[in-house]
Structure 1
């Protein structure tokens, strides 16, 4: 394949030019590597390599200035701002940085295009003054400050650039302006040097002036890479800039325009694929590369162009394992590294400036993969100990003192993570640096395994060193919010460079990295409106019409830049695969790019367009089935010998798999902090409080006086049991306070219900509270006895009838304790689980001879207290029998044996029930 670079070198060779004496100037550093490589294909003898530099390096050398970072520029600009602004009108650095970023971009554009600064800034000020603001008399303070800001733009610019030039530093635009000033002296000093510019397209005014001066003085040649198809078409944006240069540069009136090629019209295989979602595109790229390998496509001549650079990580994960050589020109974003999440969490907890920390934040930090090892002391996982204590004691908020109590040996690392001293910003930076050193010390124990992690750490160390330097030099960071903003600004532009052989294997790059380079096979992703091209964006204080008047670039020119890059990739390529996202995302995607439509309408090439959908197989979720092995059966027998409780049996009826996990395997539900009191905790508190209040009445008949005497104890007992169950959770505020008051009201309402019952002449005698029953059930089909265990909330005598009562803090309706079909009691869990429970209590107590007929069993629902005692009833021939008889218990025993036999049957596996 003949590339543009190779064509340029061949042309220079024909002219007998000594390549060693030339200075090659390219749009990017990356192209220089390919240029150096292809020189070896043209030259057949040993030579000294020529000087190869990017345009930015050349201009920086001309200007004798050093480019500084955007963050550094903000600090310098703020220094100037403070000097020019009255103290009472000065904004904080955080507020200033929001608009200063935009203004710096405008300064950059004004300088790159050599616009007279005073003229444009005074023009902008006059525009604002002409608007409706100035019609208001007298002007408000807000309007005065607004107009004063516009009037100061030229002053800001002048003082700011003076400050930078004094320190021999600059932003890109200022470097270009100074380079233009110095071009004459450069030409005088370098009359023997020859400069070769190649692969340029859109040039700013400063670049145009520099190149034209060198051309006019016969110190340079320039090679354009534009196809006749684009150049000769007056409305094709891919040739917009080269047409302008050809028309406007005096040099081309007497000299040839090298070159207008004719590669685009050559036969090409162009396929367009609409793929749903970004991840879908990444997966499709992986599959496409696998197919290309099978077709023996040379991956050295293949490039994957990621128009949306956020696709880098998913694309790398989707690449086939068979690709053994890979070169990635984009850096891996530092903000995608696990360490970034750690420091983000640390910033978040310290931005709140509280003395206590939310438990989820604490657990997230101490459980982080880089932090957890720091808490390991003598093979003890201290982080787990802290986490378990937080969960067990319901510590929604936890102080540093409490953390140190839990982990006294880890005080130093806890201070580093959670304690900031008086100067919070300085302390934060110091803590982050110390934390990096602590992590490094741990990783150094096994450097061979932790090479990548140490590299991550090194980059974050550089970042925090830069933050510390800026804060020390300027002292403008006064609070955590500002520090966090600057940290995110630095982090967003920081990347980890991939190491690899740039000339080997598959090339993965962004759109701008593809400049000057040619590939036989090109895969371009995210060719959507809003991505390629990026569309209308106006992040500038300079209005659109003012930009047009001053020949500053607008969105049209920016779109034309990407149009050129897109079509230039297609010029020499033989196989082109264009991917776009078919799904409408939040900000981008959904609409294919105008570039695709343009390709189809041009009619130069036959475009094959396909919509790709992922292969989705019919997915039927199979219900979990656990075989009853010998080990499982032995475990079931052990459970049976210890005793089946009503809750374990109803758990099985609800879902056999839950029974298997909890009872057979012994897997408890995951414990978590109750930020608000859970229903089961409320139920336990109410149950235990009623036991306390009624325990003195066991064996006695209730009287109004006895019941009234217990009312005064409700608050104390409720509080005691909340502390006992909810541990250190706070019940004094918010939702928990409401639940606390509800618990008190439940108990009070229940006692008032009992008082009302007694006043009506009913005799209530307490027989037992929280009575534990153990009964044995013999089943002929089993060769071992079955034990049944349970604890009844209350047994009393009501006008001579024994009642078994189960308290429920939830709502229970009457129909849930009335049954017509006995089989339903074990098959319809949702409706009859409560009936099953109270009947099992009755069955066990009858087995133990603790109760006598007449007998009733039922529920007292605290959410349905007006319904009173909800009695179990068996519906028989249009009538309800609320009394539990021997026949009732016999019928229940049949169903009870069925369910236990099912649990113990080796032929019936544990099968999940559909929810």
Structure 2
């Protein structure tokens, strides 16, 4: 096991400064390494010691400025106002936000590299300004001239003109933006750094500043280090390897670009000739390059990789590095159960957390889910919200659905209140998952910050801009993981690896484009000008990533680098240029392997569910069964199991579009409303129906009321607005209702005995546990009393809005034959069962009249001789009693089969039944 760089640093600090480090500050590029160095100092001291102060380079600068660095949202909001003011533009905040970030990055880069903003933003049209460039070197002049050649007169275009006009305002934007922030006691990071180094007097509070593990330093950082060095307060520890500090084929290695420059100016406290510290690439290493077709295959390999070579046992000496940090969710799910301790340093994207889906549902409810014309929320968004797990933390659902908010200010306040509510609710419900708590807190903090900006008037936006802005902010926010940083497997992004050494390393997605990142630079300042004025360029970023890559590997002995070899829209399928460079120039032998999915396609196979003890407990608890359930069993026993035993509900219609079920419900309710209104006299006469048919608005009013109840779910006095499809369906239902009335007119006089009448009857069956009472129940659409050929009978009428094509039933046997179910024999089962129940009901049939089952198919009522009475072998069932004994025997046999433990819930063999089955994806 190699000693780490921080171990060498700790030993040297103690040797030179002893154990009293109270007047010493250790400065790191980032915070992470301080925990490891502190542990090494304590371990090597072997006695109590005064720990040094651990600060980042950013902390060091901020300590000597009275200004605060404003948060990113505030900075972009202020920059947006300044930009519109200087350019006369009316660019909206959501459109500006993305390239406002680019502009802010450019300003930050200018200040951190102490660039002359006036010279950088000089108007490109005034070419004569190039005459006074005495401050430029010959190389810089040449670079600028090459850039300006692209703007010759013969290449003039509207795009170029717009860019030049925009550029001409950049200096004013830069200056006014700074002034705007200064007036508020605020600034951005680059401006703060520049302000500090330009101060004539700084009273540094520590006696010694130890800079550890830096690579590229911005001009402001170098200035500050020079100042501290001149005071005798600065000491430097550089982490590098001789391999990339020396020339290769007469060319300096890019990984050592910056440290080579700084070593003369800021001498190393460690001995650069010490081979144990700085010649680790020459030592044996086991390096493997893995190619895979997808990132997911790489992630799935993690489990296999960790279980080999004591990688799990070595804990924090083992690291998984994500060159593409978007892999984090997949990586976390691919960790094997043997990993007991893990530390994740990169944040989990907030957009993947449950609180984000909740917030987006809330915003959609208030925007696209609100119908202003009828002042109601969409059923779809209400249903989706009610199903969200976070709704259980809200005590009063009125907080969610009680009011619509038409402006950004009130909506944001509402969202802040709801996030606060679920935060309290989660904590009160013994929510102990720190990640969930942190995600809720991060989201609350984000909206609370927006609240401050909105109330102060600094953020002005309409709901559309606000929604887009929220999406951008959530996408750029991450949730930090909590863990013990110095214990267990380490999972991190590339930037977190600085100053840290590992024995076992797995780098995922080490592709060109991920390693190095940012090769396709986005900036308003072209490359040539950036290069001429010493700003950060692509070259700088490549050199920085070259250092990250090589310093990560230099002390490791077990290295695996994986990359995606597939070419697609987001990947070229190429390994990183640094991997290629290591192959050509490196002193190590490299092994090449291919990662294959090792999966064979599995054919879906439908399997029966045996009636074990657990299943039979649920079956035996059934006491009420509907005809719909019996029909489901006949169609497919497995479907019956999913719905009525496993309790997996079929999905509801969450939208305001009309499916077959909703269409039928609206028609049924319309017919019920008509006959409820007309049934006061007991008997329906032809005059009643003819008058209704002449009243053009009556049927429309009834159908509209049914729509409000069954689709829109609003009160009758609320206004509703129909979309195109709804208008078509509305007209079809009105026509269907008119058809029903015309066929009923021929039937007059008749009496309505019941509408949507609930019925129930007890049946006794034999089971393996003895006799059992089962209630068969349902709702009858319509019960009427009619006379034909001078003989009165009662009809049990079931309305059908579909087609009766191929509905040919010859016998009672056909009704209970699963192979005949496609002929809609289940319609017969329901109608005959209801008729039998009604026949024995004294309250609905006190005179014990004959009862006929009827299926009234609205689409087929045009003929003069249309008769909805059910036919068996082409003969109408005038009295259901004629078939009672045979039907009950079959019915009893069917129900007893459900309760028979020896008959499993098997899938249907008729695959046509599967086409529209909601459970087809479960059973395969």
Q: Which TM-score band applies after superposition, normalised by the shorter structure? A: 0.7 to 0.9
CA RMSD of aligned residues (A): 5.8
Q: Distance in 2 between matches of 1:572 and 1:212?
A: 30
Q: 1:809 aligns with which of 801, 808, 821?
A: 801
Q: Does 1:716 align with 2:698?
A: yes
Relative distance call for 1:718 and 1:444 in structure 2 (3 A) is same
Alpha-carbon shift at residue 822 of structure 1 (Å): 7.1
Matches of 2:592 and 2:325, distance apart in 1: 26
Q: Cα–Cα, structure 1 residues 736 and 303, in superposed 2: closer, same or farther, change >3 Å? A: same
Q: TM-score, normalised by structure 1?
A: 0.73
Q: CA deviation at 1:121?
A: 0.5
The alignment of Structure 1 onto Structure 2 pairs a total of residues equal to: 848
Mean alpha-carbon deviation: is it higher for 280-289 or for 560-569?
280-289
1:733 to 697, 722, 733: 722
User: Displacement of 1:768 after TM fit?
Assistant: 8.4
Deviates more, 1:577-586 or 1:64-73: 577-586
- Tell me how far 1:767 sits from its aligned partner: 8.1
Match of 2:315 in 1: 299
The separation in 2 between residues aligned to 1:108 and 1:882, in whole angstroms, is 88
Deviation, 1:514, is 0.7
Contact 1:201/1:241 (8 A) holds in 2: no
Counterpart for residue 761 of structure 1: none
Between the aligned partners of 1:68 and 1:663, the Cα distance in structure 2 is 58
The aligned runs of 1:874-885 (5 Å cut-off) are 882-883=874-875
What whole-Å deviation, never above 9, does each CA across 1:784-827 have from its counterpart, x for those lacking one?
A: 999999968889899999999975321232x4327699769723
**2:3 counterpart of 1:2:** yes
Q: CA deviation at 1:107?
A: 0.9
Q: 1:686 to 1:572 in 2, by over 3 A?
A: same
Q: Which 5+ residue runs of structure 2 have no aligned equivalent?
A: 128-146, 713-719, 841-847, 915-924
Structure 2 SS opposite 1:716: helix
The answer for the alignment partner of 1:117 in structure 2 is 117
Match of 1:230 in 2: 244
Matched, 1:622 2:607: yes
Name 1:269's counterpart in structure 2. Answer: 286
| Corresponding position of 2:171 | 154
Partner of 2:216: 202
Q: Is the partner of 1:518 in helix, strand or coil? A: coil
Instruction: Write the deviation string for residues 869-911 of structure 1: whole angstroms up to 9, x where unpaired.
Output: 5999999xxxxx744699x999998798556524424354443
The answer (yes or no) to whether the contact 1:775–1:847 under 8 Å persists in 2 is no
Aligned partners of 2:6, 2:616: CA distance in 1, in Å?
75
Q: Residue 595 of structure 2: which of 605, 608, 611 is its match?
A: 611
Q: 1:122 to 1:747 in 2, by over 3 A?
A: same
Does structure 1 conserve the Cα–Cα contact (< 8 Å) formed by 2:255 and 2:547?
no
What is the aligned partner in structure 2 of residue 327 from structure 1?
343
Distance 1:191 1:698 in 2: 99
Q: Which structure has the highest helix share of the two? A: 1
The question of 1:554 aligning with 2:537 is answered yes
Q: Using the alignment, how far apart are the partners of 2:358 and 2:493 within structure 1? A: 29
The alignment's TM-score, normalised by the length of structure 2, stands at: 0.73
**Counterpart selection for 2:906 from 876, 899, 911:** 911
Q: How does 1:141-540 map to 2 (within 5 A)?
A: 148-164=165-181, 169-182=186-199, 196-211=210-225, 220=234, 222-234=236-248, 239-240=253-254, 242-243=256-257, 246=260, 251=265, 258=272, 261-274=278-291, 281-291=298-308, 293=310, 297-350=313-366, 354=372, 355-363=375-383, 369=389, 372-375=392-395, 383=397, 413=399, 418=403, 424-435=407-418, 438=421, 459=442, 462-473=445-456, 475-481=458-464, 491=474, 495-540=478-523
| 8 Å CA contact 1:838, 1:857 repeated in 2 | no
* SS of equivalent to 2:213: strand
Match of 1:394 in 2: none
Match of 2:132 in 1: none
**Distance change >3 Å, CA 557–CA 331, structure 1 → 2:** same
- Output the CA distance in 2 between the equivalents of 1:728 and 1:885: 33
Q: Residues 67 and 12 (structure 1 numbering): CA distance in 2 closer, same or farther, change over 3 Å? A: same
- Secondary structure, counterpart of 2:824 in structure 1: helix
Does the Cα contact within 8 Å between 2:291 and 2:595 map onto a contact in 1?
A: yes
Alignment of 1:757-796 (within 5 A): none
**Aligned equivalents of 2:645 and 2:80: distance in 1?**
68
Offset from partner CA, 1:237-293 (integer Å, 9 cap, x none): 993152466369875999999479331232222334456655555554345334455
Equivalence for 2:104: 104
Q: Is the 8 A contact 1:817 1:872 kept in 2?
A: no
Q: Are the structure 2 counterparts of residues 578 and 826 from structure 1 closer, same or farther at C-alpha, using a change threshold of 3 Å?
A: same
Partners of 1:627 and 1:910 within 8 A in 2:
no
Task: Find the aligned partners of 2:856 and 2:416 in 1 and give their Cα distance.
Answer: 62
Indicate if the aligned counterparts of 1:5 and 1:516 stay in contact, CA closer than 8 A: yes
